[in-house]
Amino acid sequence: MGFFSDYIPRSGDKLLTKWAHYFEIYERELTRFRARPVTFMEIGVFRGGSLPMWKEFFAPGSTLVFIDIDPDCKAHEIEGTHVEIGSQGDPAFLASLADRYGPFDVILDDGSHLCPHQIASFEALWPHLTDRGVYMVEDCHSSYWPGFGGGYRNEASFIEYSKRLIDRMHSWYTDQDALFPFDDMARHLNSVRFYDSIVVCEKLDKQQPPTSLAIRNGKVEPSRKALTLRNRSSVFANKDGR
Ligand SMILES: C[S@@+](CC[C@H](N)C(=O)[O-])C[C@H]1O[C@@H](n2cnc3c(N)ncnc32)[C@H](O)[C@@H]1O
């Protein structure tokens, strides 16, 4: 399986707690970030077992920031890492970290797993994610637990929040302006990927609205007619979409 199957048998005495199927998701989502130094933040330190793992995973020279509400977690700081104490539910604390260490290429939320915290952290930190960076939220099964602010189809859960991101990403295309206005998130969100218990949001700072291409005999004709016609009316309104 690559890095993690090699690392796990060599792990040290600090406890690492992850669900077994997460490692394959890390391989798939994070391998592209290993080629050069990156800025990484993990929310949730606990017994400190993830610090040496991420330190070895990412390239030398990376900035590795870990946060936890428990002051005892400061003791888990190792060379080349920064452990900061504060709550992920505190936007001012997160803003101060973004000022000091940001922008971040990868943010991993493995903190309280409370839905209001997951949403508050995402909203505070998403603007501080780099172009093509990824924001991962773990243990999203807590969205199905009322005690964590979730419950089946509870609109306040992080899973339901993430499902709404899909609508927001597509808000270029709406012709239902009153019901579904354009949302600026469409300019910055490239993908929302749902795994079992993990949601990954990938950023892409789009300079232009989506463009359709008509390609024939090696000639490429770009068009945004489908969006601009009828004031960004739905591309699906006309069958030819142009
Ligand atoms: C699941 S553990 C983290 C596990 C660790 N990432 C690992 O891989 O071994 C969750 C951690 O989140 C911390 N936590 C709980 N509430 C928090 C909050 N509001 N802000 C930041 N951290 C919090 C807990 O103190 C705990 O250490």
Q: Which atom of ligand 1 lies at the shortest distance from residue 66's CA?
A: 6
Local confidence band at 240 (pLDDT 50, 70, 90 cut-offs): very low
Pocket test for ligand 1, best of 14, 51, 66, 88 (most atoms within 8 A of CB): 88
Structural domain boundaries, residue 239: 212-242
> Are residues 70 and 167 both part of a single domain?
yes
- Over 70: is that where the pLDDT of 98 sits? yes
* Least confident residue range of 131-135, 138-142, 206-210: 206-210
- Over 90: is that where the pLDDT of 223 sits? no
> Are residues 114 and 228 both part of a single domain?
no
Tokens 């077992």, residue? 49
pLDDT of res. 122: 98
> Are residues 66 and 140 both part of a single domain?
yes
Q: Which atom of ligand 1 lies at the shortest distance from residue 88's CA?
A: 20
> Are residues 237 and 119 both part of a single domain?
no
> Are residues 39 and 108 both part of a single domain?
yes
Per the prediction, the chain carries an average pLDDT of: 93
> Are residues 169 and 142 both part of a single domain?
yes
Structure tokens at 50: 């993830």
Handedness of CA 53, 126, 235, 228 (dihedral sign): negative
Catalytic residues: 113
Structure tokens at 34: 């290993």
> Are residues 225 and 202 both part of a single domain?
no
Provide the 8-state DSSP code for 117.
Answer: H
